[in-house]
Structure 1
Amino acid sequence: MPKLLLLEAMGNTGEYVFDAARDLGVDVIVVTHQDVHDDWYSPALRAKIQAHGTLVLTDFSDSEGALRQLTELARSEGVDGVVACWEFLTPLAARLAADLGLPGNDPSRALSCRNKRIMARAFAEHGIPAPRTVAARTLDEAYALLDTAALDYPVVVKPSEQSGSWGVSVVRGADELAAAFADARSHLFQMPHGIPLDPHVVIQEYVGGVEFSIETVVVNGVATPLFPYDKFTTDGDRRAEFGHTVPAELDEASAHTVREAAVAAAHALGVTHGIAHTELKLLPDGTTRLIELGARLPGDHIVGLIRQARGIDEARIYVQLALGREPDLTPTSDTAAGIRFLTPPRGGVLRSVSGIGDSGTVALSRLTVEPGDRVRPPGDNDSRVGYVILHAETAAEVNAAAAQVLANVSIEVG
């Protein structure tokens, strides 16, 4: 039976991949840390691993030590494929696959899919339209680089290597830069593994337009983009994601433009065999600006949305690619699905969530925070208290139903 090494199954993406591997008749070795397994894994995922998988513990904060340990383990166990279900480990997965002679992405360019500073440089070198970017380690350097690059406000300030909109803000004037810079610099370790991150702060020109996401499947250097889907973010100085709809309501010419941009970005960042999750903006003049790309599956239950709307199981594709198998990208349905996240009006203690309703469009609703627990103020993805998944014949129907759900929901915080 083939064996798959799964680096960190924390979060919904890991569970999707674990299930897909088991459905394919693949043994799964899950690599994590004991504290993460005990405190961050759901009871359902822990039970699945205990019943159908193997658990291996390592220290991902020591990437070189983890690489040595996992290379030895993979060789002794006869591992046939490596995947990372936590984006901070995608460079490690690429290096490990290369050392083992297994399918994977270009390890020499893997950091460009994780580090936004390196990513911006790669986009520029390959002529990929993207926001103009500078990166600084100090506030004084940031002011100087903004002047040299002639970047006008507003600008977007973000950490080089964080995720989930942590430390990301829109800065509208020089007087706001210091606070935003300090916030971006406050996230120098990725928890819960304690992985050290690049201390540079990325500052980019703000671009308008409408934001979309798209998945690209790359098989031995040949990239096949799927379809664009909507990405919804909050307005204001903080830009947290609050939902997605699969597929996007786009005309075919615009969808073609987005697909071409996604393929070019994947080639530029060294995605040679795997999945590329790309986020970009479509401008009113019909051009695109690449925001970022990850050599990974999408989070936010998008894997489930794509499967529900189009019948394409991206987690299954991810496992097949890692094992050197040819995936089937043929859609088997033609509907739409969406997710909307529930966020509190302010930080405090969650009292209740009500008003979701039970219309035929709502496929699933779930709280991720229990009443009585403390919640973060809105501003990043960790402030979410739950989500609603919707399913309908068209994206327009999903979006209309989602707007109604969000209008009706009441979140009480004490």
Structure 2
Amino acid sequence: MNASRNNGNGRYLLVFGAATTLRERAAVAALRVFDGPVVTVSPTRNAPASKFFDHTIIGDFSDPVSVLRATREFERETGMTPAGAVPFFDPSLLAGRAVADHYGLPCLPRDAVEDSSINKNRMKDRLLAAGVATPRYTLVRDAADVRKAIGEFGLPCVIKPSAFGGSLGVRLITGEHEAAGAHAYVRRIIEEASRVFTVPNRSVQVEEFCALSEEVSVEVLNHHDRRAVLAVTDKTLGPRPYFAETGHRVPSVFSGRRDVRELAVRACAAIGLDHGMAHVELRLEDGKQPQVIEVGARTAGDGIPDLVERVYGVSPYELHIRSYLERLGEFPEPGAPSGTAALAVLKAPPGRIAGILAPDRVDPAVRHYAVFAAPGAESGATQADFRDREGYVECFWPDAPPESVPPLAHLGIAEDLAARIFRMAGGGAGDARSG
């Protein structure tokens, strides 16, 4: 235990997910907000980011029983109790709620947790009941049910797990002949995920395909009965039949659309969110009513909070923590953006990665990049979900409004950077350009 971080009252801040990739600045926000030890939960002691915390509680962060047992054992060992339990990603929403219940801490209502994107079927029910525009859905048990859903919703339609984020298991169906294969694909994804973390909801659903051409996310701050939009983020998706997110940009070119912002706030109210940030994904098109796709009862992933902070000077992580600690005063009012920030996925061409090179040139807009892959790794031909990435790059154009930056500039920078970084077996680094 780091004695310099002990606030003397035996209380610590428990955070979930701050050690995961592209959520690391949640730990920075925790240190800004809380004058005392910051503690996280990990299933093992060899997680690289664990060294940034005052203590790591060993437990399954996705299992409420495991987390509560480990937290109570930590109390017996140290005499310390949590002052707040703050989840930053879906797998720990229920575990954070269990700790909050036991210690009497502020938290989202149980129904709001269970009716968010960890149970997309229940989420849809809440949205539809409140009159919030969202595609209809039906649960499916087998390929026969998928074919019935196709008959009800028409083609194309979307099949997905009723839990998970990161585009895991989400797939477009364009023909009835795909029913069996698509259902088997989703079941396989659920089983793979179940080997990594606890998955209470293993159901599968088919829903109407939303044909609106653009996708955004809206980052909404909720605290009791107050709600405010901090930012709207443009999103870029990879090729069909999958829906992998390949890029994000703040501010969105749609930031000024009042109907988009109001619909996101209505969705949060329909779910019953009353603490912290929410990540609301919508589809939209000029001249048409937007539709809600999902409501995440937590901060955004993929570094979106970092982009928001860079552009607006407001940290969604910090506000999220303050809300869970009941230390949120006046809502911030983000002013004019200081520029345009974006993040894009680094993708190597298909094949075996033979080497990782230092790029001979980096675009001036690049603020940071990271490579996940190592020599010997295989790069797939498709991006089905967040696992099919070799890294990412973050860009910033200071004093540049979004309309002055080409919409896909960050994707072009990522492609060029990947071409300079990845040396593929049987060829040079330049081969990545043709990928």
Instruction: Judge same fold: TM > 0.5, yes or no.
Output: yes
Q: Is residue 309 of structure 1 aligned with residue 311 of structure 2?
A: yes
Q: CA deviation at 1:287?
A: 0.9
Amino acid at match of 1:111: E
Q: CA deviation at 1:354?
A: 7.8
* 8 A contact 1:165–1:380 mirrored in 2: yes
CA distance in 1, matches of 2:225, 2:163: 26
Alignment-derived partner of residue 175 in structure 2: 173
CA distance in 2, matches of 1:129, 1:400: 28
Q: Is residue 102 of structure 1 aligned with residue 105 of structure 2?
A: yes
Change (3 A) 1:313 1:109: closer
* 8 A contact 2:247–2:411 mirrored in 1: no
* 8 A contact 1:213–1:277 mirrored in 2: yes
Give the one of 216, 230, 233 matched to 1:226. Answer: 230
Give the one of 246, 257, 260 matched to 1:258. Answer: 260
CA deviations over 1:74-94 (Å, ceiling 9, x no partner):
695232111113311112223
Amino acid at match of 1:142: V
* 8 A contact 1:345–1:377 mirrored in 2: yes
TM-score (structure 2 length as normaliser): 0.85
Alignment-derived partner of residue 200 in structure 1: 203
**1:60-209 to 2 correspondence within 5 Å?**
60=61, 62-70=63-71, 76-113=79-116, 114-147=118-151, 150-189=152-191, 190=193, 193-209=196-212
* 8 A contact 1:310–1:336 mirrored in 2: no
CA distance in 2, matches of 1:347, 1:134: 38
* 8 A contact 2:107–2:275 mirrored in 1: yes
Q: CA deviation at 1:353?
A: 6.4
Q: CA deviation at 1:151?
A: 0.7
- After superposition, the CA RMSD in angstroms is 2.5
Alignment-derived partner of residue 405 in structure 1: 413
* 8 A contact 1:158–1:203 mirrored in 2: yes
Q: Is residue 385 of structure 1 aligned with residue 394 of structure 2?
A: no
Q: CA deviation at 1:358?
A: 2.1
Alignment-derived partner of residue 21 in structure 1: 30
CA distance in 2, matches of 1:248, 1:136: 35
TM-score (structure 1 length as normaliser): 0.89
CA deviations over 1:125-159 (Å, ceiling 9, x no partner):
22111011111122222223443xx2100011111
Q: Secondary structure at the match of 1:83?
A: strand
Change (3 A) 1:251 1:13: closer
Change (3 A) 1:373 1:179: same
Alignment-derived partner of residue 394 in structure 1: 401
Alignment-derived partner of residue 280 in structure 1: 282
CA deviations over 1:49-96 (Å, ceiling 9, x no partner):
2xxx11111234643343354367569523211111331111222343
Q: CA deviation at 1:106?
A: 0.8
Give the one of 9, 14, 22 matched to 2:18. Answer: 9
CA distance in 1, matches of 2:176, 2:334: 49
Alignment-derived partner of residue 59 in structure 1: 60
CA distance in 2, matches of 1:216, 1:206: 25
* 8 A contact 1:246–1:338 mirrored in 2: yes
CA distance in 1, matches of 2:169, 2:27: 31
Q: How many residues align?
A: 401
Amino acid at match of 1:54: H
CA deviations over 1:268-311 (Å, ceiling 9, x no partner):
11211111011111134331111111111111111211111111
Give the one of 243, 253, 263 matched to 1:249. Answer: 253
Amino acid at match of 2:401: T
Amino acid at match of 2:207: Q
CA distance in 2, matches of 1:248, 1:88: 28
Structure 1 gaps of 5+ residues are none
CA distance in 1, matches of 2:25, 2:295: 20
Change (3 A) 1:413 1:166: farther
CA deviations over 1:308-354 (Å, ceiling 9, x no partner):
11111111112111211015524365221001111233254354568
Change (3 A) 1:218 1:72: farther
Structure 2 gaps of 5+ residues are 1-6, 426-435
Amino acid at match of 2:95: L
Q: CA deviation at 1:356?
A: 8.2
Alignment-derived partner of residue 369 in structure 2: 365
